[in-house]
Structure 1
Amino acid sequence: MTAQLLAVRGDITRLEVDAIVNAANSSLLGGGGVDGAIHRAAGPELLDECRRVGGCPTGEARLTAGYRLPARHVIHTVGPVWRGGAHREEELLAACYCNSLALAVQHGLHSLAFPCISTGIYGFPTDAAADIAVASVRGAVRDTAIEQVLFCCFSEADLLLYRRLLDL
């Protein structure tokens, strides 16, 4: 079975999927952008669980409950800060997608949504990040029980970029 890969524009905190992916910082204790929005929407229980998890290194992923979100789970992953491209940023970004999907498979999840990881305050070039996201997900969902992956875009420009990459 081949997973359905789609690009959507909207609020990731409102998506009804098994898990949404949080572009978190290494503390997992909330922050700005999508991270802050997910923490606000999920409620204080998410912060309590994240404190118990104890952080996450760049490129890795951790799973928590979704609490007040429509999604049952949140997969937290820490994207790389763009420092010009010579510090393994591409490899670490690909690992975010692959490790998030591996965690989803491990926990029997079938649908998940990704934000545009590392392209906000972390400064990763949007085009390169989208290429890595789509290629990594296409490779990682092959021969898994993942049925649907959404790339949840904040801007119309990002949506058009992902749709072009997905040939939609």
Structure 2
Amino acid sequence: MAELVLIRGDITEQNVDAIVNAANTRLSGGGGVDGAIHRRGGPAILAECRRLRETTLRDGLPTGEAIATSAGDLPARWVIHTVGPVWTAAQDRSGLLAACYRESLRVADELGARTVAFPAISTGIYGWPIDDGAHIAVDTVRATATEVREIRFVLFGTAARRAFESAVE
């Protein structure tokens, strides 16, 4: 079973095998974690994303799925891009959020990654309530069979850290 580690900090500074990017379906960079990863990782990541969009992902990366690129100038070896769902009270999309974590670990296993850093997927501009998002994240990675040995949740703020601490306990 993977060790769960909680860190308050910047995901782009994590020296791990793979960093998970809370991407948009177009894999085009953007705001939040996605923008930070693209800025710090440099143009190589965006170039690979564009090649994916021109070939295998012409319609974009579907919500809940994951795919990897190199990590460019980041200290990691790979970036695993996953598209989280936008939260809405009108529809339960928790299965899609859980799929982001499961699929990212599946891709990590395919790559041979043993250390993976996750952000709190969908809890930023996609509006997912942090307490619920933390429980889905922790419960999903605990229930997913993986060869990954260390799963880091790299959290931006104090509220996210508290929510993940509560979910781990």
Q: TM class, shorter-chain normalised?
A: over 0.9
Deviation at 1:164, TM superposition (A): 2.2
- Counterpart CA distance in 2 for 1:35 and 1:158 is 17
Within the alignment, does 1:149 sit opposite 2:151 as a pair? Answer: yes
1:115 alignment partner AA: P
TM-score, normalised via structure 2 length? 0.93
Find the residue that maps to 1:96 and give its secondary structure: helix
Q: Residue in 1 aligned with 2:70?
A: 65
Q: Name the TM-score, length of structure 1 as normaliser.
A: 0.94
Corresponding residue number in structure 2 for 1:14? 13
Aligned to 1:28: 27
Corresponding residue of 1:119: 123
Q: What corresponds to 2:138 in structure 1?
A: 134
Residue 67 of structure 1 and its aligned partner are, at CA, apart by 1.0
Which residue of structure 1 lines up, in the alignment, with residue 57 of structure 2? none
* In structure 2, C-alpha distance between the alignment counterparts of 1:94 and 1:85, rounded to whole Å: 18
Aligned pair partner of 1:164 in 150, 155, 166:
166
**1:9-66 deviations in Å (ceiling 9; x for gaps):** 0000000000000000000010000100000000011110000111311000010000
Percentage identity across paired residues of the two chains: 53
Aligned to 1:102: 106
Structure 1 runs (4+) deviating above 3 angstroms are none
Question: Could you give the per-residue CA deviations for residues 51-89 of structure 1, whole angstroms, max 9, x where no partner exists?
Answer: 011131100001000010001000000000112151x41
Q: How well do the aligned residues superpose, as a CA RMSD in angstroms? A: 1.0
**2:36 aligned with 1:37:** yes
Q: Distance in 2 between matches of 1:27 and 1:120?
A: 18
Can you give the 5+ residue segments of structure 1 that lack an aligned partner in the other structure? none
Count of residues in Structure 1 that have an aligned counterpart in Structure 2: 163
Give the AA of the match of 1:60. E
The 1:138/1:85 distance shift into structure 2, 3 A limit, reads: farther
Tell me, yes or no, if the aligned pair for 2:21 and 2:118 is still in contact at 8 Å.
yes
2:88 matches 1:89: no
Question: What secondary structure does 1:41 align onto?
Answer: helix
Report the residue type matching 1:158 in the other structure. Answer: A
Question: Retained in 2: the 8 A contact 1:6–1:166?
Answer: no
Task: Confirm or deny: 8 A CA contact 2:131 2:164 kept in the other structure.
Answer: no
* Distance in 2, Cα, partners of 1:105 & 1:28: 21
Which ranges of structure 2 fall in alignment gaps of 5 or more residues? 54-59
